[in-house]
């Protein structure tokens, strides 16, 4: 919660399935476009919040399948569980609050009287969430009588219908919108209300995100019928909500642009990387651009030009060293020569590189310590290492900096597969 010293410039609160993640796109192109934009222009002063219907277990599964960035805050189980930071510290105060007028056993007992309700898997049954599948045509009637029955038992519940198939029974104070309102209240009491908040969603359990006061909202183009219906009846009058023309993460980028919340040009959309420069030196931007060049070089998606290699040498110290995750040391310039030979070695194959958690600190008047996770996804599977790099600002070069030293370490669970495959 306190990674940033000042109020966030932008807080994005996004649903995952079919909003951040496009399950119809095996190449994850729009997600990777969003990732590059976030790490290059927002990570250093903004907050990323994922708000998913998934339980912690199912959320972890999705993280293994898709190139999701590490969020600052994770809201899971339809706003009933909140966790902070990469270690996911649970908000116990929120869970205590949800105990009010909630009795899980009564919910189970009453819902069992409805044969139309089919229990979802055990992982999706959580302390403050009981979830079912239902046939679309039966949903409305069942929801109505459930409210009556549970009300008679003295419970104050919220029943949410999503994706035409799912029903979640939650405490009245829970839900994605209530969880966000709670976070905003906490930020306000710390004097850190984000300058702008953008909420993003595609289905019924996202509807209440859009009615949290003072937020902008983007409903992605591929939204579910029940959310589009809600938009038609209620949301449309709110000028701070748009129904995007683009799918999933591309719709989120569209929302950033529509509401003018900050840069909305993903580095991945830039054809000639050498033309995309920022006015002020931003380590996140440089790291993203470097690995994009690296990916395109190995995929032969840019010209095989000596200039690129010469330029890389110009922005690295002659005597600089890179320590590979395997522990092998290499002079930066030798490493660049090796890299030159790898032009097109991944041509036509699945090869994607992205960075996560870029952070940097200025440790001297012209020196920066930059740290990030680097991911490479290829036909052989994912590979990931933590990188620490020392940069020196060099105003006389077009890039404005030079790489002095880099050190890489395999991330937990990613042992060396093929030492030569990791070049930078
Ligand atoms: C996610 C959850 C599921 C829930 C649904 C709608 O798919 O896994 O339990 O019913 O979201 O909120
Ligand atoms: Mg969704």
Indicate the pLDDT class of residue 93, thresholds 50, 70 and 90: very high
Q: What is the pLDDT of residues 40-83, one digit of tens each?
A: 999 999 999 999 999 999 999 999 999 999 999 999 999 999 99
Q: From the CA of 77, how far away is ligand 2's center (Å)?
A: 12
Can you give the pLDDT at residue 214? 96
Strand, helix or coil at 375?
strand
Q: What is the pLDDT of residues 168-203, one digit of tens each?
A: 999 999 999 999 999 999 999 999 999 999 999 999
Residues in CB range of 343: below 8 A, 6 or more apart? 297, 298, 300, 304
Can you give the pLDDT at residue 339? 96
Query: H-helix or E-strand containing 337?
Result: helix 332-341
Can you give the pLDDT at residue 421? 57
State yes or no: pLDDT of 419 exceeds 80: no
Q: What is the pLDDT of residues 337-392, one digit of tens each?
A: 999 999 999 999 999 999 999 999 999 999 999 999 999 999 888 999 999 999 99
Which domains can be identified in the chain, with CATH numbers? 11-90+174-268 (3.40.50.1000), 101-171 (3.90.1070.10), 270-410 (3.10.450.50)
Ligand 1 atom nearest the C-alpha of 160 is 12
Q: Whose CA is nearest to atom 5 of ligand 1?
A: 53
Around ligand 1, the residues with Cβ closer than 6 Å are 53-54, 58, 78, 120, 124, 131, 162, 166, 168, 205
Can you give the pLDDT at residue 235? 81
Q: Whose CA is nearest to atom 12 of ligand 1?
A: 53
Mean pLDDT confidence for 233-239: 85
Ligand nearest to the CA of 158: 1
Q: What is the pLDDT of residues 269-310, one digit of tens each?
A: 998 888 888 778 889 999 999 999 999 999 999 999 999 999
Can you give the pLDDT at residue 420? 52
- pTM value? 0.96
Can you give the pLDDT at residue 418? 54
Q: What is the pLDDT of residues 304-340, one digit of tens each?
A: 999 999 999 999 998 999 999 989 999 999 999 999 9
- Cα dihedral 137, 141, 146, 149, rounded to 10, equals -150
Looking at 73-214, list the stretches that DSSP marks H as alpha helix, in order from N- to C-terminal side. Answer: 92-98, 104-111, 136-152, 176-189
Ligand 1 atom nearest the C-alpha of 168 is 10
State yes or no: pLDDT of 416 exceeds 70: no
What's the rounded Cα separation, in Å, for the pair 307 and 305?
5
Q: Tell which one of 124, 133, 206 to mutate to probe ligand 1, the residue whose CB is within 8 A of the most ligand atoms.
A: 124
Phi-psi region of 406 (alpha: psi -120 to 50; beta: other; left: phi over 0): beta
Mean pLDDT, rounded, of the chain: 94
Question: For tokens 């960035």, what's the residue?
Answer: 69
Q: From the CA of 215, how far away is ligand 2's center (Å)?
A: 19
Ligand nearest to the CA of 18: 2
- The proportion of the chain whose per-residue pLDDT surpasses 70, expressed as a percent, equals 98
Q: From the CA of 264, how far away is ligand 2's center (Å)?
A: 22
Q: From the CA of 187, how far away is ligand 2's center (Å)?
A: 25
Q: From the CA of 65, how far away is ligand 1's center (Å)?
A: 18
Q: From the CA of 19, how far away is ligand 2's center (Å)?
A: 6
């Amino acid at each position: 919660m306190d990674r940033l010293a000042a109020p966030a410039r932008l807080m994005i609160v996004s649903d995952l399935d079919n909003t951040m993640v496009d399950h119809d796109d095996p190449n994850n192109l729009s997600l990777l476009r969003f990732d590059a934009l976030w790490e290059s222009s927002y990570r250093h002063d903004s907050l990323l919040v994922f708000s998913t219907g998934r339980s912690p277990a199912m959320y972890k599964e999705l993280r293994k399948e898709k190139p999701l960035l590490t969020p600052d805050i994770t809201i899971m189980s339809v706003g009933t569980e909140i966790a902070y930071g990469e270690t996911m510290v649970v908000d116990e105060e929120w869970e205590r609050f949800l105990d009010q007028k909630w009795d899980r056993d009564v919910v189970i007992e009453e819902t069992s009287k409805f044969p139309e309700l089919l229990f979802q898997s055990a992982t999706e049954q959580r302390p403050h969430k009981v979830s079912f599948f239902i046939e679309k045509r039966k949903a409305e009637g069942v929801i109505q009588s459930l409210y009556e029955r549970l009300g008679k038992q003295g419970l104050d519940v919220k029943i949410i219908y999503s994706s035409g198939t799912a029903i979640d029974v939650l405490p009245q104070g829970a839900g994605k919108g209530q969880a966000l309102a709670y976070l905003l209240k906490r930020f306000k009491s710390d004097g850190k209300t984000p300058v702008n908040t953008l909420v993003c969603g595609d289905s019924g359990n996202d509807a209440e995100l859009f009615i949290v006061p003072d937020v902008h909202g983007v409903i992605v183009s591929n939204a579910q019928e029940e959310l589009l219906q809600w938009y038609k009846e209620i949301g449309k009058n709110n000028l701070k909500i748009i129904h995007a023309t683009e799918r999933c993460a591309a719709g989120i980028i569209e929302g950033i642009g529509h509401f003018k919340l900050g840069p909305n040009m993903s580095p991945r959309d830039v054809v000639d990387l050498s033309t995309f420069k920022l006015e002020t030196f931003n380590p996140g931007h440089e790291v993203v651009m470097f690995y994009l060049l690296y990916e395109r070089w190995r995929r032969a998606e840019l010209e095989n030009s000596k200039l690129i290699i010469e330029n890389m040498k110009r922005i690295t110290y002659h005597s600089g060293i890179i320590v590979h995750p395997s522990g092998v040391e290499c002079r930066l310039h030798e490493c660049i020569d090796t890299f030159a030979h790898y032009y097109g070695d991944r041509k036509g194959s699945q090869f994607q590189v992205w960075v996560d958690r870029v952070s940097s600190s200025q440790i001297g008047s012209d020196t920066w310590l930059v740290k990030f996770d680097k991911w490479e996804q290829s036909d052989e599977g994912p590979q990931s290492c933590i990188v620490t790099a020392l940069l020196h600002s060099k105003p006389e070069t077009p890039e404005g900096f030079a790489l002095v030293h880099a050190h890489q370490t395999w991330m937990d669970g990613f042992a060396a597969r093929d030492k030569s495959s990791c070049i930078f």
